[in-house]
Structure 1
Amino acid sequence: MAERMLQFVSLPQEMPDKRAAAERRQDFGEIYRAFAVERAEQQASRCSQCGVPFCSVHCPLGNNIPDWLKLTAENRLEEAYQISSATNTFPEICGRICPQDRLCEGNCVIEKGFESVTIGAVEKFITETAFEKGWVQPRKPMRELPQSVGIVGAGPAGLAAAEQLRALGYQVHVYDRHDRIGGLMVYGIPSFKLEKHVLDRRHELMEEQGIVFHLSTPVGDGEGAVSLDTLRQKHETVFLATGVYRSREVQVPGAGLGGIVQAIDFLTASNKRGYHEDPGEEDAHLHARDKRVVVIGGGDTAMDCVRTSIRQGAKSVTCLYRRDRVNMPGSLQEVANAEEEGVEFAWLAAPEAFLGDGNVNGVRALKMRLSLPDATGRQSVEIVPESSFVLEADLVVKALGFDPENLPEQWGQPDLAVTKWGTLKVRPGAFETSLPGVFAGGDIVRGASLVVWAIRDGREAAAEMHQWMKAKTKAEQAVAAE
């Protein structure tokens, strides 16, 4: 064991310096400053190099975390980057937005007594150093293959599959309805968590690798769209990674009042302003300046909305969530950051009705209490009788999660099978859909989930598509030889 490891007994956990709440409320810059080399080495040296690395076990990508922590502690940063990027297509993104407190860091074996290793911060440090030093280069193929692949969706699953398949030599074309790559990462996640130059930088690398992007090109029957049948004729295989964008609704009286908006619309308008794009006069209602904002929901999207509202100059911001802090699905670190920035939380409360005449001016809510666990093992909630109260609101943002769009209907593909939840159905343990040669992965298969799971799906689907094309080529050659 290297002498410089196992320093958790003498070195306390330290995160990178965080910008003061008063400062970060004024802009959309990332809130954590970069590690200095010495501090990154020190924090990496806290790793216990345990025999069973639960950090890796609980990482969806199976990242070799103890290995690159050890290399970082020894100032062997280029090797650390090679190990990190071997299992993760986008370590610079995961280091920023993965909920490490629920994955790797939350399962670190020293976490109980000594606080976990700051894995996410070190991962970000390694990758940013690699970009700065010029170690990050596009993985150009050793040889070109004639088969082409069509990928629908430039989110994390689609991009991960594209990068893997292009590295193997396939001619890769990515189609996306948005004008930039990234999916929800570009327009759904605020810049204070993921600055957009990170995505722009990766876009340039992937184009250098030889991937062809067809942006502002939706799949379907509308103007400027390309049909799935056309893609199947043009490409050897197709990978569907469209994500899930249909916002869930809250069915209570007053839901049609003005000033009640969906989280995706609110965040998209904000991110477009960050690109110095004017969302248009019709989107002026999607700004929180001088408004009393109520956000409904308790996931990471809700945290993005409340923290965006603060930065837009809201008069007040309240998050309304029907469970308590312990049972919320979002990152507890995000909750802490939001509280520092001035967000109020109304725990154990759910909307009963929206109030107003034409435009919303309040949310009538009911207090809730936790009851027995439901079939999933999660505590159910029940209403506390005669407990209603009113929150004043000029803007209500619904952040209740996303469901899949009806792709078979939108695309005119009745043979494209879906599950009872509306997600695309794939073969058990695989990624091929009911349409031969059409594969799918990411949120459109597993439902709304984490970026890191989408990256894993994209990488694994690419491997399956590679084997499928090899088998098809071999079969065609055998027929030609007869």
Structure 2
Amino acid sequence: MAKERMLKFVTVPKEMPEKRPAMLRSHDFHEIYREYAETKAAEQAGRCSQCGVPYCQAHCPLSNNIPDWLRMTAEGRLQEAYELSQATNTFPEICGRICPQDRLCEGNCVIEQSGHGTVTIGAVEKYITDTAWEKGWVKPIRPEIERAESVGIIGAGPGGLAAADVLRRKGVQVTVYDRYDRAGGLMTYGIPGFKLEKPVVMQRIEQLEAGGVNFVLNCNVGTDISFDAIRGQHDAVLIATGVYKARDVEAPGVGARGIVKALDYLTASNRVSFGDEVEAFASGELNASGKRVVVIGGGDTAMDCVRTAIRQDAASVKCLYRRDRANMPGSQREVQNAEEEGVEFVWLSAPKGFTGGDEVSGVMVQRMRLGAPDATGRQSPEVIEGADYVEQADLVIQALGFEPEDLPMLWGVPELTVTRWGTIKADFRTHQTSLPGVFAVGDIVRGASLVVWAIRDGREAADAILDYLAQPAQVAAE
């Protein structure tokens, strides 16, 4: 009977959850996809081919046991499906919403390769976990034994929180330090609500708090508390700060009013969604309402910015990217969603400078063409001489990626070794840094990357920290 519920990809077509019409969704910050009904989730899960070598699992950074929880969903065993999903993923409801499945699990689905359309893995994952919350299957952490050892985690983003979850389940005392007034990192303040509604993040924070994780918020390490003080208070420390230093356009006029950083812009918007008073938003500095908006960049952060500007009732929204659509790093689904909502993409274009003097009035744009491939195999953009023009703009948002802050200098720990890119140097297996008992995970080690990779790093580092704590003679000696 169970087998009859699977292998339906030949007769049942791929069907995503219903997407709200662009004219409606572009005026609010609610998520754009509706929930599957139970029968539809089971039907779509039943399309899985249950292949012998599951490429979806192999290409998932967390090695989620996708075929098994798809089968359980098809069979109506949703609580078991949730428990299996939770066993490898600390935040399945978040990954189901924001993972670029088209580049990971779904993009490598065997039936996708055979032309039948991928299994909608992300949508089913989201359905399973949302159902688990509704049914009360998600419980606070209750360790079997409380341990005396404590771990300090610097950074309340996905890497730090994933480690906190694993450590608390083993009874370790965990304190998380974060510079913001709410935990969650970029999940809270960087990703807009139309991709990840904030109650989804807050309920996980509350679950961790109820399970005994202690949060110290509004706390800047190096200013409000020293790194050495944190080391002195805990048996081990995990650095999971992420990378927040924005890359700037290097072009004449870049300091003009109206040219802003992507994270400042997104954070202001997300704070407003929480009901916070944000002076820079109220003044119009970080508000796109009525403005001609130009976003520079082609990654997922740029997609978040253009779609946020549309929802703030911008007069027009354009995205400049120096390569073409096929070579952009952002999700193709996000590009499609943005275009449906009214964003115009200006491919093969790069900023040369800005007009307007003290206050920006336009972007001087260089037209580009793709030349020979670079060292990574991507074609390098080349300037087309004599094809420059000015794109009128009242608000320019720079979304060119992020770089690590100089933590050894900021924290007064020059012995903390970093790479030539400024990221923390850590063992790729144990995540241990050059400092005994100090570990590091996520973007501060990898550079700007995906939430799912940070979760994997956090879970791995927690296991390594547990091994470290199990060596009392070594800890005492240090």
Give your verdict on TM over 0.5. yes
Counterpart CA distance in 1 for 2:475 and 2:34 is: 55
Give 1:375 deviation, angstroms. Answer: 1.1
**1:189 alignment partner, SS class:** coil
Counterpart position of 1:313: 313
CA drift of 1:199 comes to 1.1
Q: Is the 8 A contact 2:280 2:286 kept in 1?
A: no
* 1:255 aligned residue: 254
State the partner residue of 1:334. Answer: 334
Q: In the alignment, which residue of structure 1 is the partner of 2:371?
A: 371
SS of equivalent to 1:164 = helix
Q: CA deviation at 1:429?
A: 3.0
Are residue 187 (structure 1) and residue 189 (structure 2) matched? yes
Instruction: Give the residue type in structure 2 aligned to 1:140.
Output: R
Residue 235 of structure 1 aligns to which amino acid in structure 2?
H
CA distance in 2, matches of 1:139, 1:366: 55
Q: Deviations over 1:176-234 (max 9, x none)?
A: 010111101111100000000011111111011111111111110x2xx1111001110
CA distance in 2, matches of 1:309, 1:128: 28
Q: After alignment, is 377-386 or 194-203 more displaced? A: 377-386
State the shift of 1:281 in Å: 5.0
Report deviation, 1:387.
1.0
Q: Secondary structure at the match of 2:360?
A: strand
Residues 75 and 420 (structure 1 numbering): CA distance in 2 closer, same or farther, change over 3 Å?
Answer: same
Instruction: Please give the secondary structure, in 1, of the residue aligned with 2:277.
Output: coil
* Amino acid in the other structure paired with 1:57: A
1:475 to partner: Cα distance: 5.1
Measured after TM superposition, the shift of residue 476 of structure 1 is 7.0
Which structure 2 residues correspond to residues 106-121 of structure 1 after superposition, within 5 A? 106-112=107-113, 113-121=115-123
After alignment, is 423-432 or 280-289 more displaced? 280-289
| Structure 2: gaps spanning 5 or more residues | none
Matched residue of 2:327: which SS?
coil
2:80 counterpart of 1:84: no
Given residue 100 of structure 1, which amino acid in structure 2 is its aligned partner? Q
Residue of structure 1 equivalent to 2:432: 432
Deviation of 1:38 (Å): 0.5
Deviations 1:334-359 (A, max 9, x none): 00000000000000100111111321
In structure 2, C-alpha distance between the alignment counterparts of 1:241 and 1:456, rounded to whole Å: 12
Structure-2 change in CA distance of 1:313 and 1:372 (3 Å): same
User: What is residue 355 of structure 2 aligned with on the other side?
Assistant: 355
Q: Distance in 2 between matches of 1:402 and 1:281?
A: 22
The superposition leaves residues 20-72 of structure 1 with CA deviations (integer Å, 9 ceiling, x where unpaired) of 00001111000000000000000000000000000000000000000000000
SS in structure 1 opposite 2:31? coil
C-alpha RMSD of the superposition: 1.2
Are the equivalent residues in 1 in contact too, given 2:141–2:212 (CA < 8 A)? no
> Comparing 50-59 with 348-357, which one deviates more in the overlay?
348-357
Match of 1:214 in 2: 216
Q: Distance in 1 between matches of 2:310 and 2:428?
A: 44
Q: What code does the residue aligned with 1:71 have?
A: M
User: Could you say what secondary structure the match of 1:123 adopts?
Assistant: helix
**Which shifted more, 276-285 or 384-393?**
276-285
Deviations 1:149-194 (A, max 9, x none): 1000000000000010010011000000101111011111000000
Aligned equivalents of 1:140, 1:19: Cα separation in 2: 39
Q: Structure 1: which 5+ runs fail to align?
A: none
Q: How does 1:154-193 map to 2 (within 5 A)?
A: 154-193=156-195
Tell me, what secondary structure is at the counterpart of 1:41? helix
For 1:97, give the aligned amino acid.
I
Residue type at the aligned position of 2:220:
P
Partner secondary structure for residue 285 of structure 1: coil
CA distance in 2, matches of 1:302, 1:29: 19
1:139 CA displacement: 2.5
3-state SS of the aligned residue for 1:111? helix
1:64 matched to which residue of 2? 65
Q: Aligned residue for 2:29?
A: 28
Q: Percent identity?
A: 62
Aligned to 1:417: 417
For 2:162 and 2:41, locate their aligned partners in 1 and report how far apart those are by CA, in whole Å: 27
What one-letter code is carried by the residue in structure 1 that aligns with 2:432? E
Instruction: Please name the residue that 2:99 is paired with.
Output: 98
User: Given the superposition, is the C-alpha separation of residues 130 and 387 from structure 1 closer, same or farther in structure 2, using an over 3 Å criterion?
Assistant: same
- Scaled by the length of structure 2, what TM-score is found? 0.98
Distance in 2 (CA, whole Å) between partners of 1:186 and 1:410 is 24
Which digits, 9 at most, give the CA deviation of each residue in 1:382-419, with x for residues without a partner? Answer: 11111112211000000000000000111111111100
> Per the alignment, in what secondary structure is the counterpart of residue 96 of structure 2?
helix
1:210 partner letter: G
AA partner of residue 356 (structure 1): G
CA distance in 1, matches of 2:211, 2:10: 45
Task: Note if contact 2:296-2:321 (Cα within 8 Å) is conserved in structure 1.
Answer: yes
Displacement of 1:428 in angstroms is: 4.4
User: 2:132 corresponds to which letter in structure 1?
Assistant: A
Say whether the 8 Å CA contact 2:253–2:357 is kept in structure 1: no
In the TM superposition, what whole-angstrom CA distance separates every residue of 1:76-117 from its partner, at most 9, and x where no partner exists? 000100110000000010000000000000000111311100
Deviation at 1:13, TM superposition (A): 0.6
Measured at CA, do residues 476 and 370 of structure 1 come closer, stay the same or move farther in structure 2, by a change above 3 Å? closer
Residue identity opposite 1:439 in structure 2: F
Contact kept? 2:319, 2:345, Cα under 8 Å = yes
Deviation at 1:258, TM superposition (A): 0.9
1:298-349 CA distance string (max 9 Å, x none): 0000000000000000000000000011100000000000000000000010
Residues 357 and 475 of structure 1: CA distance in aligned 2, closer, same or farther (over 3 Å): closer
Query: In structure 2, what residue type is equivalent to 1:452?
Result: V
The Cα offsets for residues 218-254 of structure 1, whole Å up to 9 and x where unpaired, read as: 110x2xx111100111000000000000000110111
1:225-304 to structure 2, matched below 5 A, reads: 225-281=224-280, 284-304=284-304
- CA distance in 2 between counterparts of 1:132 and 1:383 reads 54
Distance 1:245 1:446 in 2: 13
CA drift at 1:284: 2.7
Is the contact made by 2:45 and 2:73 (CA closer than 8 Å) also made in structure 1?
Answer: yes
Distance in 2 of aligned mates of 1:140 and 1:380: 53
3-state SS of 1:142 partner: coil
2:75 alignment partner AA: E
Task: Quote how far apart the aligned CAs of 1:278 are.
Answer: 1.3
2:130 counterpart of 1:131: no
Map residues 441-452 of structure 1 onto 2, 5 A cutoff: 441-452=441-452
